[in-house]
Amino acid sequence: MTHEAALRLGIFLGLLAAFALWEALAPRRADPPARTRRWPVNLAFVVLGGLVTRVVLPGGVAAFAASAQANGWGFLAALAIPDWAAFVVSIVALDLAIYFQHRLFHRIPVFWSIHRMHHSDTMFDVSTAVRFHPVEIGLSLAIKVAVVAVIGASPESVLAFEILLNAASLFNHTNGRMPDWIERPLRLIVVTPDMHRIHHSARREETDSNFGFSVSIWDRLFATYRAEPADGQDGLTIGLESYRERESQGLLRLLAQPFGRGQ
Ligand SMILES: [Zn+2]
């Protein structure tokens, strides 16, 4: 395992354990999390996603960035700006690209059929953060590679962005309770679990809002921000109407889900 891969895995496991402890000790919603049924399935997608990355892009996006930079690709190569400024521009540009990728995955039916597996989880906790279809992982990699090539992002900025995105996603899917006096000001800057939970609502207009993963500014700026769910944080139904039965939540059924019918 490379140094970068070990660093990413270490941070991932540390945050996963910390957020799991938080939501176990102080849950935001009282509905039973059904961990023994959901967690093995959701966590299996970490392994499957990792395998797809190994096959599609063995060195990861950061290694691609190193070769892109060596070839002088991207607009940053043409701009004479300091390294720290290029680092910031790369992270902001990658984050904005992921925001629009997420909107695209909701808007285009074939992409939605792949992305909806993430939304079909009937609960919302830190394990939901890693539940992405392997095809979506592959598509995301392709999009990230294209964006890195256009920007000319450095491998360091790509690694920092991937760690940030991963950490933000684990955080904003957590079912941990947070006092209002922390949540309100925090939400002005970052996507909080209360903000992202609305994105996991069964109401389509709520699913199609709060697309951001890290900072809340993109949703505010592009008018996709929704402050409160119609049924309140405790009444909000999580998941999708077509995938409520227990049989639809097995690993094989979830892998097959993009190819079947549904909402
Ligand atoms: Zn989504």
Distance from the alpha carbon of residue 96 to the mean position of ligand 1, in angstroms: 15
Q: Confidence class of residue 78 from pLDDT cuts 50, 70 and 90?
A: confident
**Predicted local distance difference test score (pLDDT) of residue 186:** 97
Distance from the alpha carbon of residue 207 to the mean position of ligand 1, in angstroms: 7
Count of domains for the chain = 1
Distance from the alpha carbon of residue 58 to the mean position of ligand 1, in angstroms: 26
pLDDT(248) > 60:
yes
> Angle at CA 29, nearest 5°, toward 198 and 179?
85
Query: Is residue 190 included in any domain, yes or no?
Result: yes
Distance from the alpha carbon of residue 59 to the mean position of ligand 1, in angstroms: 27
Q: Which residue has the higher pLDDT, 263 or 25?
A: 25
Distance from the alpha carbon of residue 254 to the mean position of ligand 1, in angstroms: 16
Distance from the alpha carbon of residue 144 to the mean position of ligand 1, in angstroms: 17
Query: Is residue 258 included in any domain, yes or no?
Result: no
Distance from the alpha carbon of residue 197 to the mean position of ligand 1, in angstroms: 10
Query: Is residue 52 included in any domain, yes or no?
Result: no
Query: Is residue 40 included in any domain, yes or no?
Result: no
Distance from the alpha carbon of residue 156 to the mean position of ligand 1, in angstroms: 27
Query: Is residue 49 included in any domain, yes or no?
Result: no
Query: Is residue 18 included in any domain, yes or no?
Result: yes
* Residue-wise pLDDT tens digits, 32-66: 889 999 999 999 999 999 999 999 998 889 999 99
* Residue-wise pLDDT tens digits, 117-165: 999 999 999 999 999 999 999 999 999 999 999 999 999 999 999 999 9
Query: Is residue 30 included in any domain, yes or no?
Result: no
Distance from the alpha carbon of residue 163 to the mean position of ligand 1, in angstroms: 20
pLDDT(13) > 60:
yes
Query: Is residue 34 included in any domain, yes or no?
Result: no
Whether the model clears a pTM of 0.85, i.e. scores above it, the answer is yes
Structural domain harbouring 231: 3-23+58-250
* Residue-wise pLDDT tens digits, 188-207: 999 999 999 999 999 999 99
Q: Confidence class of residue 262 from pLDDT cuts 50, 70 and 90?
A: low
Distance from the alpha carbon of residue 235 to the mean position of ligand 1, in angstroms: 20
**Predicted local distance difference test score (pLDDT) of residue 263:** 57
